Each structure stands twice: as C-alpha cells, then as structure tokens.
C-alpha cells in the first residue's frame, strides 16, 4: 500500500485552509510541497512563509521538494519552517554528499530528486545516504503534465539497486500520477505517489486519495 502525498501546488490557494482540512481528514499520508525558484525550473511557486502556515495546520509529514539552485543555503530555514523530508535535485547539487549530510544533521529525512533525463545509476555511490529518491515523471516546473512512460523502467532499475544493497530507501514518483497508472507504478516498486491535479481536480478528492491508497 503506497504512501499518498498530494501536491499542494494544485490546491486552491484562495481556500487553502479548506484543502488542508480535507487532506487532514483523508487517507493522505504526506503533504507534498513544491518550491520553485524560477532559475532551476522555469516557474516560481511558494516558499517559506506558506510552508510555515501549512505546518501549523497539519500534523502530517511535510515533504518539501526543492526545485531550486544552491539548496544548501536554505536547508536550515526550511527545517525551521517545518519540513520533515527535504528533497534536493541531483542536477542542482555538485556536492550532493555534503547536502545530504547537512539535511540529516538538521534532523530531516534527506531526499534526492532526478529529472527525467537523469539515469538512476548516478546514485549508486550515494544511495546508502538517501532516505527517499524522487523520480520526476514529468519535466519539473509545472503541474498537469503527461506522465513519461520510461519512468516505469527507471523505477524497476532503482528498486533493484535498493534491494541488492539491502536498503530501505523509498521511491517517490512525482508527475502525471493518475488512478489509471498508479497500480503499474506500485507494481514496479514505487513507495510514495505524489498527485496534484488527480486529487485536487477530482469531483471527490477524498475518495480519489482512498483509491490511490488502495493501489
């Protein structure tokens, strides 16, 4: 049974409290919070003040995905804002080991995200330091994109690496997750499903979360 992490990037920001209450009362496991800087990705989302307020309104895990350059400059601030899991992009971190050590020293779980073009074998020498690998199944920066099918093969390859090394690293899938492809993702080895439009554009978001959870 996968962990479900609805992406608040797709929430109604004029009625954010209502959407948070819905998630709190649903079977959602995590809140997925996408931070974009307009530099690493061609979009700007929300930052520390919004996350601080979300943190006050939920006791669920706050899974913060940094799509930003120089994430090490902000790790401590995101910890103070309430992040439980902090994920940085391999492509943005020339000193990834240092970034992971910083995140863990601050008391957070450390995640690494890979863009669609980045092969998973690049994690082979660092996977033992990673709590969560976020495989981007769309190009990062915008919600509502179509799922990239090759992601399924990347999940299988990564799952094999984790299993062979006898690790407990979680595999998270971010982008284009639907009720239709979720069973295939879980069967391939995904542990955490990020869902934005699939949840927040649904007629019954709570039932949609329950259906994803049942995959």
Which amino acids are annotated catalytic?
Answer: 34, 174
125 is in an annotated binding site: no
34 is in an annotated binding site: yes
82 is in an annotated binding site: no
In the block, which residue shows the tokens 């962990």? 3
Q: Which residues contact 70 (CB under 8 A, 6 or more apart)?
A: 92
Instruction: Yes or no: say if 207 and 165 are a contact pair by the CB < 8 Å rule.
Output: no
From the list 175, 207, 168, the residue with the least C-alpha distance to 189 is 168
111 is in an annotated binding site: no
84 is in an annotated binding site: no
141 is in an annotated binding site: yes
d(CA 44, CA 142): 9
Beta-sheet strand order (sheet of 170-174) = 3-6, 192-195, 170-174, 132-136, 109-114, 85-89, 61-67, 30-36
144 is in an annotated binding site: yes
For the annotated binding site for substrate, the residues are 7, 65, 141-144, 174-176
For the annotated binding site, the residues are 7, 32, 34, 65, 141-144, 174-176
For the annotated binding site for a divalent metal cation, the residues are 32, 34, 65, 174
């Amino acid at each position: 049974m996968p962990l479900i992490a609805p992406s608040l990037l797709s929430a109604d920001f004029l009625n954010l409290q209502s959407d948070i209450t819905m998630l709190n009362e649903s079977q959602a496991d995590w809140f997925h919070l996408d931070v974009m800087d307009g530099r690493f990705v061609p979009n700007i989302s929300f930052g520390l003040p919004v996350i601080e307020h979300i943190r006050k309104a939920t006791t669920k895990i706050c899974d913060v995905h940094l799509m930003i350059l120089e994430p090490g400059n902000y790790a401590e601030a995101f910890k103070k804002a309430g992040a439980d899991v902090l994920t940085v992009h391999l492509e943005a971190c020339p000193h990834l080991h240092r970034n992971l050590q910083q995140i863990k020293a601050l008391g957070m779980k450390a995640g690494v995200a890979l863009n669609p073009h980045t092969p998973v074998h690049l994690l082979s020498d660092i996977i033992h330091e990673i709590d969560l690998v976020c495989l981007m199944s769309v190009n990062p920066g915008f919600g509502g994109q179509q799922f990239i099918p090759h992601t399924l093969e990347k999940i299988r390859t990564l799952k094999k690496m984790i299993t062979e090394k006898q690790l407990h690293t979680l595999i998270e899938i971010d982008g284009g997750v639907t009720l239709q492809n979720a069973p295939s993702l879980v069967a391939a080895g995904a542990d955490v499903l990020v869902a934005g439009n699939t949840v927040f554009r649904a007629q019954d978001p709570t039932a949609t979360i329950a259906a994803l959870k049942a995959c």
